[in-house]
Amino acid sequence: MKQLNGSITALITPFRDGSVDEQAFRDLVEWQIESGTHGLVPVGTTGESATLSDEEHERVIALCVEIARGRVPVIGGAGSNETTYAISMAQRLEALGVDGVLAVTGYYNRPSQAGIIAHYTALHNATAKPIVIYNIPARTAVDISIETLATLAALPRIVGLKDATGDLGRVPLQTRQCGGDFIQLSGEDMTAVGFNAMGGLGCISVASNVAPALCAQMQNASLAGDYAEARRLQDRLAPLHEALFSDASPGPTKYALSLMGKCVDDVRLPMVGPSDASKAKVRAALEELDLLG
């Protein structure tokens, strides 16, 4: 797989009048790459994967692969709480030419650690593409223990982790258990610099939908060991990070992009648009970063 580090955007899926807005998505992907984004994750949680049909899911990822043209790695969202379905989607994405797949722990089912191992092992054995595990207990209601992660990291195609636990203390413990070659990526924008300082290699970012150049610069600085510059950029971005999660994601992110002229702010039920208070925070953060032109 191409090098996977730095600022990796968890892409929104633009909608218009109930359908995927393919032109807006094309333009968004191109803008991301031109702005220095290091990788792309289409149809993850931020891409509203739960409300896309299979046809839409595959189409959006096919478009991302087509537009990226190998310039940056594309890690397609293939997670599900049903293992057979996750395998089927991963195999379909493999045929579309993704560089790897992102697979979340089985949400709602609350599997045991043994169930988590069985789930990811079955997914690993059914696909030839690298797999990035997604650990987000706040959404799945189950955490992947460090011991479980070490077991899975021993499988050759399980190459890394998107860690959205918010616990920076886990990073060095996971390095010790999983080895130095295991790729650890933050799943939380606000602590991305701290995550790298503890041994991480980047962030699968929501904020980089909106400020791709700044997020890429921040990651470049931290990965080069220039933490003074990385912290300076993180401080600039902090109000944006806060604003984008001031209401249910990705509503505030889509609203921000609508203000920037990148797409309309349509979301699909049960998601609705952000509150007026959230919108005010988003607008203020964009103005502070001079992102409204």
37: three-class secondary structure by DSSP: coil
What integer is the mean pLDDT of 213-233? 98
Look up residue 268 and give its two tokens: 């699909």
Bridge-based pairing of strands 75-77 and 39-41 is unpaired
Mean pLDDT of 31-58: 97
The pLDDT, as a whole number, for residue 1 is 63
Whether this model's pTM surpasses 0.95:
yes
Mean pLDDT, residues 50-63: 97
Starting from the edge strand earliest in sequence, which strands make up the sheet with 39-41, in order? 39-41, 6-10, 202-205, 183-186, 158-163, 131-135, 100-104, 75-77
* Mean pLDDT of all residues belonging to the chain: 97
What mean pLDDT do residues 106-122 have?
A: 95
Q: Select which of 134, 262, 279, 281 is catalytic.
A: 134
What is the enclosing helix (H) or strand (E) of 126? helix 113-126
pLDDT of residue 161: 98
Using DSSP, state whether 34 is helix, strand or coil: helix
Look at residue 2 in the predicted model and tell me its pLDDT: 65
Check if 120 is active-site.
no
Write the pLDDT tens digit of every residue in 196-221. 999 999 999 999 999 999 999 999 99
Class of domain 6-226: alpha beta
**Tens-digit pLDDT profile for residues 149-182:** 999 999 999 999 999 999 999 999 999 999 999 9
Using the predicted structure, report yes or no on whether residue 120 has a pLDDT greater than 80: yes
Can you give the residue ranges of every domain in the chain? Answer: 6-226
d(CA 153, CA 159): 7
Q: What pLDDT is attached to residue 79?
A: 86
Run of H or E residues at 32: helix 22-34
Choose, from 162, 254, 262, 281, the residue flagged as catalytic.
162
Give Cα 2 distance to the centre of its chain: 17
The structure tokens listed for 91 are 């195999």
SS3 label, residue 223: helix
Q: Kindly report, residue by residue over 247-291, the tens digit of the pLDDT.
A: 999 999 999 999 999 999 999 999 999 999 999 999 999 999 999
Active site residue 134: yes
Side chain identity at residue 82, one-letter code? E
Confidence of residue 128 (pLDDT cuts 50, 70, 90): very high
188 - beta bridge partners? none
- At 4, phi and psi to the nearest 5? -120, 100
- Report whether pLDDT(45) > 90: yes
Average pLDDT over residues 110-138: 97
